[in-house]
Amino acid sequence: MRVRLGVNVLGVGCHPAAWRTGEVEPTAQFDVAYFQQVARIGERGTLDAVFLADQPGLFEPPDRRPPMTALEPTVVLAAVASATERIGVVATASTSYNEPFNLARRIASLDHLSGGRAGWNAVTTYAPTASANFGFEAPASHDERYGRADEFLSVTKQLWDSWADDALVGDVDAGVYADTGRIEPIDHVGEHFSVRGPLNVPRSRQGRPVLVQAGGSPQGRALAAKHAEAIFTSQLTLEAGQAFYADIKSRVLREGRDPDGVLILPGLTTVIGGTEAEAHARYERLEELAGGSGSLWHLAAQLGLDAESLDLDAPLPPIDRSRLKSSVGFQDAFLSLAAQGLTVRQIVTRFASGHRLVVGAPEQVADTIEAWVRERAADGFNLMPDVFPTGLEAFVDHVVPELRRRGIFRTEYEGTTLREHLGLPRPVRHEAVFV
Amino acid sequence: MRVRLGVNVLGVGCHPAAWRTGEVEPTAQFDVAYFQQVARIGERGTLDAVFLADQPGLFEPPDRRPPMTALEPTVVLAAVASATERIGVVATASTSYNEPFNLARRIASLDHLSGGRAGWNAVTTYAPTASANFGFEAPASHDERYGRADEFLSVTKQLWDSWADDALVGDVDAGVYADTGRIEPIDHVGEHFSVRGPLNVPRSRQGRPVLVQAGGSPQGRALAAKHAEAIFTSQLTLEAGQAFYADIKSRVLREGRDPDGVLILPGLTTVIGGTEAEAHARYERLEELAGGSGSLWHLAAQLGLDAESLDLDAPLPPIDRSRLKSSVGFQDAFLSLAAQGLTVRQIVTRFASGHRLVVGAPEQVADTIEAWVRERAADGFNLMPDVFPTGLEAFVDHVVPELRRRGIFRTEYEGTTLREHLGLPRPVRHEAVFV
C-alpha cells in the first residue's frame, strides 16, 4: 500500500483567516518566492506534487480575505519548477475559456522545463465571474461545458502525441534536426474545435503531462473515467468516499482502462497540533480570526444562505439544490453530511474550503489518511493545510515521518518524473496515425 | 545619449546553422537551463531585456533546422526571471489567437513574479500554420487582425489598470485584505471582445508590463503609435531606419504622446570576431554549415523563391510583392536593399533572419550601434547573436565594454524594473473610471 500526496497551495492557506495569523506575509500569494518556499518544503517531505487551483476571474470581492486564485498557475509553476528538483507541478486551467492548442502547448512547455514533472488539472469552470470575462452573458450549460471539455481533452492528448518519442534527432553531422516523418498533424475537426497540429513541442521525459480532473457530477465522472489519470475530489465522509471510489474505478474498467492508472485524491484540510487539544485550540483561534466562524461563512456561501441565518446547534435547514452555489461534486459532498442529521456545528468542523477537515495530532492525521486508503475511499490526498508554510511544515515534519514509520509513504523519491512519483505508466504514443 | 539593448533568444542562435556549430547543445531550446544561462550572460552585460519571439504553430518542417519558436514564452520567461535578478523579460504573444483576459493576466503574473521586469510584444501573427491550429481556414485579413489587435491592447491596458496601486491592503489588524472600492470592473463591450473584469492580479512594481509591438505596416505603425512603449522592427539600411524612426516619432506626437516614451529597437544580427577577418571567417563557416548559404536560403524563403534560382552576383530579379511570404515590415526592409541595386550576395550579407546583419570586430559592431542611435535611426537594438551562448558572450565581453568606454551604455543597472532600464515612465493609472 502506497499513499499519494499532493499539496494544494490555495492562497496563503486553506483557512479563510490564514492571512491574519502572522505565520505568513498577508499578501504572499503575489510573491513567487512564497510559492517556491512552499514547494521546497513539500519536496523535503517527498510529496508527489504541488497543485494550484484556478479561476479566470475574481470569484468574490477580496475585501475580507485573499482571492482564492490570483497569479496564473502555469507561470507560477514554471518558477516553482526551476526552484525545485523533484516535486511535481500541477496547474489547473479551464477547458471553457482556453484554446486547446495554446493550453496543450503551455502545459507541455511546463513539462519540458520541469524535466517531466507537469500535470494539468482540467476543470470546466462554472463561475459567472469567469464567463463574463470571455464575452458570455452567463456560463454555458453543464452539458455544453462537459461536451467541450471532452473534445478539448481528446485534442490535447493528440497534440501531446503529435511528435514520436524519437522525432527530435539533433544529428549535427548528418544535418538532420528532426525526423519530420515522425511528426504528424492531428487534423482534428470536431463540434467545438478544428486543430491541424502538430504541436511545436516534442514529447517530454514522462511522455506527456499527467491529466488530472476535478468534476464530481455524472458527466465529470464519465470524463474522468475516459481521460483522467488522477481525480481531485471533495469527499467528506468515509462512506461517500468509498462509494465515489468504487464508482470511478468501475467506470474506468468499463472504459477498458486500468483502474490503478486513475488515482482518487480527495482534498484534506489539516489543522495539526502537538496534541489533539493543541490542534483544536489552533482551529478555534483561526475561526476567531475569521470573525466568528470562517468555515461557517464558507459553508453558508456554498449553500447560498446567509451565515447568520444558521443555528450552529441545529441540523441544516432543508436544502434547495437549485440554490446551491457550487459544483455538483461539492454539493454531493456536503449533502452526504446533512443526510446524517449532523448539526451545523458538526458539519462545519468536518468541512473546510469545501473539503474534509481534520483537526488533530500528527498520529490522528496519519490515521485518517491510512484508513481512507486502506478502506478504498482514496489512493491518497491533495493536502490543504490551514496556513502556509507553517501548516505544511507541521505535516512534513510530523505526519510524513509517521506515515513512513507505517511503511505507507516513501522515504525518498524513487524517480524523477511526476508519473514515476504517482506510479503511473509512461503513456505509449498512439501510432495509429502512421498506419 | 543612452543605447537600449535587448537580446532576442531565437532558437539556439539567429543563424540557421547555429545548432550545428558545436558551440551549443543542438536541441538546447527544449531545456530551460539554456535560456537561464543565456539570460544570466545578458544580465552580466547589463542588457535591458531578454526577448522571446513566438509563433503558435510549426512555422516550417524542422527537418534541417530548429523550429523558430517552440516552448511557450511566458512559462520559459517565468523560469528565466527566477534565475535572474535584474534583466527584463519580454514575451511575444499573438492578439489573433488569445483572449485578452487570459493573456493580460498571464503577462501581469509574469510581471509580479519577476518583480516588475515583464513586457509583452504584441503581434498579430500572419502564418497560416498558426491559424489552422485555431479553427480558421486561413488567417483573417490584415485589417481584421489589426482591428482586433487595437481592441485587444485597449482591453489589456484597462485590465492592467483595474486595481489602483494602493488597492491591495493586507491590514491584518483591521481585517481588510483589499480596498474593493479601488478595484473596478472595466465593463468593456466592443466589436471583438466583451470583458467585465476586474483582473484578479493587482498592479505591479512597475505599474504594468511594458507594451512592445512588432508590426511595420501602416496599420502596425498606427497601432504602435497609439499603444506601444517599444517597437521591435526590421530595418536594413540607415536611411530606411531613419525614415521609420521619424515616421513613428511623429505619429506618436500626433497621438498626443511623448516620443521619448516609444523606443525604436531594430533587430541586429551579430557575427563577432577578434578582427574583421576573423568575423568573416566565422560567418563563412556558418554559411557553409548551413549547406551553402543559410542566409541565402532564408532570403529566398521570404521572397517565395527557390534559393537555387538566385544568382549571387546579379541584382535581385524584379519582386512581385504579392508573392512575398513575410510581414509588411520585413518586405519594406529588404525592398529597401533591392532598390539600391545591390547584388544578391551583398543583400545576403546585410540580411539575416530578416534583420540587419553586422559581421565584424567589436569596435565595428559598436560603431554601427552608435551611428544608428546618433543618426536617429534607432534608440537601441534587439540583438540577435549568430549562435548562443557564444555570440552573446562575445557581445557582452567585447562590445559592451566598448559601448561603456564611449559613455553610451550603462555600467550597472540603475533600477530594478524593465521600465527603469528602458527609461520609460511608470504609467499613471487612469482614474477616470472612478469619476
Check pLDDT > 50 for residue A369. yes
Instruction: Indicate yes or no: CB of A67 within 8 angstroms of CB of B200.
Output: yes
Put simply, the answer to whether A200 touches B101 (Cβ < 8 Å) is no
B 134-153 near A (Cβ less than 8 A): 134-135
pLDDT band, very low/low/confident/very high, at B319 (cuts 50, 70, 90): confident
Mean pLDDT in residue range A338-350: 79
- What pLDDT does residue B435 have? 35
Q: Can you read off the three cell numbers belonging to residue A318?
A: 432543508
A75, A179, A197: residue with CB nearest B75? A75
- Whole-angstrom distance, CA of residue B314 vs CA of residue B141: 35
How far is B205 from B114, CA to CA, in rounded Å?
10
Cβ–Cβ below 8 Å for A71 and B112: yes
Contacts for B428 with CB less than 8 Å, ≥ 6 apart: B207
In B67-197, alpha helices (H):
73-81, 100-113, 128-131, 142-160
Give the gyration radius of chain B's Cα atoms. 21
Is residue B310 a contact partner of residue B342, using CB atoms and an 8 Å limit?
A: no
**Which pLDDT score, from 0 to 100, does residue B433 have?**
44
Widest pairwise Cα distance in chain A: 78
CA B297 from centre of chain: 23
Q: Bin B94: left if φ > 0, else alpha if -120 < ψ < 50, else beta.
A: beta
> Mean pLDDT throughout A289-308?
76
C-alpha cell, B425: 515612465
CATH 3.40.50.2300 assigned to B4-268+364-434: no
The minimum CA-CA distance between B211 and chain A, rounded to whole Å, is 19
**Residues in Cβ contact with B205 at an 8 Å cutoff, skipping those fewer than 6 apart:** B111, B115, B116, B416, B417
Q: What is the pLDDT of residue B348?
A: 77
Residues A207-211, mean pLDDT to the nearest whole number: 98
> Both ends of chain B: CA-CA distance in Å?
40
3-state secondary structure of A307: helix
What pLDDT shows up at residue A433? 44
With an 8 Å Cβ cutoff, is B34 touching chain A? no
Mean pLDDT over B3-31 rounds to 96
- B85 at A interface, C-beta within 8 A: no
How far lies A189's CA from each of A122, A156, B135, in Å?
21, 13, 8
Please tell me which of the candidates B78, B172, B198 has its beta carbon nearest to residue A79. Answer: B78
CA distance A264 to A379: 5
- Residue appearing with cell numbers 512519483: A421
Q: Is the pLDDT of residue A316 over 90?
A: no
Cβ–Cβ below 8 Å for B78 and A83: no
Distance of CA B287 to the CA centre of its chain: 25
Contacts of A97 in chain B (CB under 8 A): 99, 101-102
Nearest residue to B77 (alpha-carbon basis) of B47, B134, B119, B127: B119
Express each pLDDT in B198-234 by its tens digit.
999 999 999 999 999 997 889 999 999 999 999 999 9
Residue A141, marked binder: no
Q: Which residues of A touch B104 (CB under 8 A)?
A: none
Burial A323-359 (b: 16+ CB within 10 A, else e): ebebbbbbbbbbebbbeeebebeebbbbbbbbbbbbb
Contact yes or no for B280/B272 (Cβ under 8 A): no
Q: B177 vs A65: CB contact, 8 Å cut-off?
A: yes
How far off is chain B from A403, nearest CA to CA, in Å? 33
Amino acid found at B118: A
Interface contact A75, partner B, CB < 8 A:
yes
In what helix (H) or strand (E) does residue A5 lie, and over which residues does it extend?
strand A4-8
For A243-269, write each residue's pLDDT tens digit.
999 999 999 999 999 999 999 999 999
B430 is in an annotated binding site: no
> What's the average model confidence in pLDDT over A229-237?
94
Measured between beta carbons, which residues in chain B are less than 8 angstroms from residue A176? 63-64
Please give the mean pLDDT across all residues of chain B. Answer: 92
Q: Is B70 on the interface with A (CB under 8 A)?
A: yes
Among A188, A195, A161, which Cα is nearest to A434's?
Answer: A161
> A26: which chain B residues are within 8 Å (Cβ-Cβ)?
170-172, 177
What is the tens place of the pLDDT at every residue in B19-30?
999 999 999 999
* A303 band by pLDDT with thresholds 50, 70 and 90: confident
Residue B424: pLDDT above 70? yes
Rounded Cα distance, B54 and B72, in Å: 7
Contact of A165 with A207, CB cutoff 8 Å:
yes
Cis before A198? omega within 30 = yes
Collapsing DSSP states into helix, strand and coil, what is residue A361?
A: coil
Residue bearing the bigger pLDDT, B216 or A337: B216
Give me the residue spans of the domains in chain B. Answer: 4-268+364-434
Using one digit for the tens of pLDDT, what is the confidence trace for B79-110? Answer: 999 999 999 999 999 999 999 999 999 999 99
Give me the residues paired with residue B232 across strands. Answer: B265
CA distance B335 to chain A (A): 31
Contact A31 B132 (CB under 8 A): no
Would the pLDDT of B434 be above 60?
no
Give B61's contacts in chain A (Cβ within 8 Å).
178, 180, 183
| Mean pLDDT for the stretch of residues A364-386 | 98
* Residue B324 pLDDT class (50, 70, 90 cuts): confident
- Average pLDDT (B106-123) is 98
| Amino acid type, B426 | R
Rg (CA), chain A: 21
Show the beta-strand stretches assigned E in B235-330: 263-272
Residue A273 grid cell: 497540533
B56 → closest Cβ in A64, A69, A102: A102
pLDDT tens-digit profile of B161-206? Answer: 999 999 999 999 999 999 999 999 999 999 999 999 999 999 999 9
**Cβ–Cβ under 8 Å, residues A58 and B61:** no
| Alpha-carbon gap, residue B386 to B16, rounded angstroms | 8
Q: Which of residues 264-323 of A touch B (CB under 8 A)?
A: 291
Strand partners, B397: none
CATH of domain A4-271+356-434: 3.20.20.30
Helix axes A276-289, A294-303, angle to 10 degrees: 60
Best probe of the A interface among B59, B113, B160, by most A CBs < 10 A, is: B113
The annotation status of A146 as a binding-site residue, yes or no, is: yes
- Percentage of chain A beyond pLDDT 70 is 97
pLDDT at A24 over 80: yes
State chain A's mean pLDDT as an integer. Answer: 92
Q: Round to whole Å and give the CA distance between A147 and B344.
A: 55
Task: Give the pLDDT mean for B397-424.
Answer: 98
